[in-house]
Amino acid sequence: MTVESTAARKPRRSAGSKTGTTRTTAQSADAPAADAQATAAQPATATASKATAAKRATTKRAPAKRAVPKKPTAEPAATGADPDLVQLLTPEGRRVENAAYDPYVAALTPDDLRGLYRDMVLTRRFDAEATALQRQGELGLWASLLGQEAAQIGSGRATRTDDYVFPTYREHGVAWCRDIDPINLLGMFRGVNHGGWDPNSNNFHLYTIVIGSQTLHATGYAMGVAKDGADSAVVAYFGDGASSQGDVAESFTFASVYNAPVVFFCQNNQWAISEPTERQTRVPLYQRAQGYGFPGVRVDGNDVLAVLAVTKWALERARSGEGPTLVEAYTYRMGAHTTSDDPTRYRHDDERAAWEAKDPIARLRTYLEASNHAEEGFFAELEAESESLGRRVREAVRAMPDPDHFAIFEHTYADGHALVDEERAQFAAYQASFADVEGA
């Protein structure tokens, strides 16, 4: 979806400006009144009217310029100040009441809260190890979830085992909640398989690289669930960039018309690679659901409790036959889009620093400590478990076989093809050239 070069683009504004609810249509609402005042102020003489008419007839009017929308001056703060943002835990770790969503987390015990914290810490540790392995040449690519742990763990823990999840390529935390071994996520990024797990074993579909297409798969699957009479639900994950894809719009249409039991979970991490959200939409993303006839909710994506509550509510709606819901988890991509991306070319460090103050793990730890729900021994044990996970991931990836460089040429045609044979030979010569250099 990128239409301009990131190399030529200057870094975007600092953390203060963010897409919000400013709309140019609202600015033009008083236009008729302004025109009336201007008309009244003109000399009411026939001579002036004739002169004006003659001038208009002989003067060629310049094409009207499109109004440039004003840049929002402030981003919606995840502190409860934004009335449209569902939040149960502030960035400072303070619990706030919400009559609509408190019931969905009222039964959480201190063990449950510690479990959510553990999920986020271990997911972040796994993600950091995968990033390091890619930098060391062990993986071809990696899409980090850094900063989005609460959005993924909160929504993942809201699902039941009979619900079905359709991820993108960044839902490592949701995969963790669905009991997918983290090692299985890495085979595809090393190039040794197309996904190392059976989707039907955990009701967690294989990672989808094509942007937005998984929302169609999820909607179709949800329509099938409804026809089967099951009371399970489906979750489709996608990002703010994917919300501009036609596949997502088509999914919204079919899900609404057929009342499909699907939750569209959009992680708005503010950047579609190098495109900021304000270049994707003129209204908050969750409001798009109104045009399709189903509800949309914006939740603080760095608040694991709020995400858990809102996703539970949306899933209950789906299971009870009330149709689809759009959840916009308002969060931030702390790292690069993938390890092939350099975010310093299009965003400022102060923007990242502003979001670091809203870190999802830090705020839950503050709450646990202030509420006496966790002692220092818990955090020390978790740190040791985190390091153990990192070692296991390193050892497992390094024990994986090297990718088969020629597998791409297999199974393209059932009976082979002369062009494919030619390309295989060219690639073999290219690979051999590296061996010659190493042997010299």
pLDDT of the chain, 440 residues: tens digit per residue: 443 333 334 444 444 344 333 333 333 333 333 333 333 334 344 444 444 444 444 444 444 443 433 333 333 333 345 678 999 999 999 999 999 999 999 999 999 999 999 999 999 999 999 999 999 999 999 999 999 999 999 999 999 999 999 999 999 999 999 999 999 999 999 999 888 899 999 999 999 999 999 999 999 999 999 999 999 999 999 999 999 999 999 999 999 999 999 999 999 999 999 999 989 899 999 999 999 999 999 999 999 999 999 999 999 999 999 999 999 999 999 999 999 999 999 999 999 999 999 999 999 999 999 999 999 999 999 999 999 999 999 999 999 998 888 888 988 888 889 999 999 999 999 989 987 665 55
Q: Which tokens belong to 185?
A: 């996520």
Q: Which tokens belong to 401?
A: 């076989």
Q: Return the pLDDT at 283.
A: 93
Pick the catalytic residue: 333, 347, 363, 367? 333
* Residue 117 annotated as catalytic: no
Greatest alpha-carbon pair distance for the chain in Å reads 96
Pick the catalytic residue: 337, 347, 363, 367? 337
* Residue 337 annotated as catalytic: yes
Q: Return the pLDDT at 25.
A: 36
* Residue 411 annotated as catalytic: no
Q: Residue 236 in contact with residue 264, Cβ under 8 Å?
A: yes
Handedness of CA 323, 237, 331, 183 (dihedral sign): positive
Q: Return the pLDDT at 437.
A: 62
C-alpha to C-alpha distance for 303 and 85, rounded to whole angstroms: 11
Pick the catalytic residue: 286, 332, 346, 367? 346
